[in-house]
Amino acid sequence: MLQIALPNKGVLSDDAVQLVQEAGYRVRRDRKELMVRDAANHVEFYFLRPRDIAVYVSNGVLDMGITGRDLTADSGAELVELMPLRFGKASFRYAVPRESGRTPDQFGGLRIATSYVNLVKQDLARRGVEATVVHLDGAVEISIQLGVADAVADVVQTGRTLEQAGLVVVGEPILESEAVLVGRDASLAAQNNGVKLFLDRLRGILVAREYVMVEYDVPVAQLETAVAITPGIEAPTIAPLSKSDWRAVKAMAHKKSVNQIMDELSALGAKGIIITDIRTCRI
């Protein structure tokens, strides 16, 4: 039975559960349940604190887990990133009071509040800066106002919370984070068919979220130009119509480009342009 950890709460939890559900696994649970067994797919899902998942997986207690790249890096656990999951994106940044004007290279002798002690210590060591790292479990942005710290290091998504506390981010991101699937080693899929299936299913959902299916009819005279607009993954599907000088075309296309594609096909004289979502796929 494959054992996989999912975040039990926080910004990653709902998206992680939705992704796994869309991949065909049973993960619906009562909020108090710590484990859900999907007998049909031979998987047990354990709902754990996101910060603890890396530890359980690295110790071999569980096979894989979904957590944040920032939490994995801060844990110091020996893990491999099996797959980035394209949600929960955020930057891990330093922030200081607006009037400070200090950059991270000028943090020598200061107190830096953070929930990610190891990440900050590693970055300071890389910079050759000696500073005191103050460990807080959360709400680090208030620490400067309360006189506990001179600067903070925290995960930043919109930056609104820092702005409300009178802080501004400084320096380049320490780490770009997002939700990731982690495991003990990169050969898991080769060793276990259940792991390979899980990876393939998740990958299918992630690809489907970025693509749509484009279908349209186009005059033969414009077919070559139309195919250049919608080249598909390998090549588009082209079929004859009852009108001998027209063809039906079907191809996958990037979702972010869909409106531009429709504009260009319409200007080319294409008719019956239809865009449909893809639930999952393998490419």
pLDDT, mean of residues 107-129: 96
Enter the tokens of residue 127. Answer: 């910079």
What count of other Cβ atoms lies within 10 Å of the Cβ of residue 109? Answer: 10
% of the chain with per-residue pLDDT over 70? 100
Distance between CA 237 and CA 178 in Å, rounded?
Answer: 35
What is the model's pLDDT at position 186? Answer: 82
Distance CA 192, CA 229 (A): 40
Of 3-12, 30-39, 163-172, which range is least confident?
Answer: 30-39
Computed over every residue of the chain, the mean pLDDT equals 94
Averaged pLDDT for residues 135-146: 92
- Per DSSP, the residues of 198-215 read HHHHHHHHHHHHHEEEEE
Which pLDDT score, from 0 to 100, does residue 177 have?
95
Q: What domains appear along the chain, each with residue ranges and CATH number? A: 2-87+178-186 (3.40.190.10), 90-177 (3.40.190.10), 211-277 (3.30.70.120)
Give residues with Cβ within 8 angstroms of 266, minimum separation 6.
273
Can you give the pLDDT at residue 161? 85
Read off the DSSP letter of residue 9. Answer: S
Backbone conformation region of residue 81, classed left if phi is above 0, alpha if psi is from -120 to 50, else beta: beta
Of the listed ranges 48-62, 83-97, 131-145, 178-192, the least confidently predicted one is 178-192
- Read off the pLDDT band of 30 (50, 70, 90): confident
Backbone angles phi, psi at 197, to 5 degrees: -65, -45
Please enumerate in sequence order all residues whose Cβ is within 8 A of that of 257, keeping only pairs 6 or more positions apart, or say none: none
Please tell me the predicted confidence (pLDDT) of residue 139. Answer: 86
pLDDT per position as a tens digit, 148-172: 999 999 998 877 888 888 999 999 9
Both tokens of 23, joined, read 């991949």
237-240 and 246-254 beta bridge pairing: antiparallel
Looking at the DSSP bridge assignments, the partners of residue 175 are 92
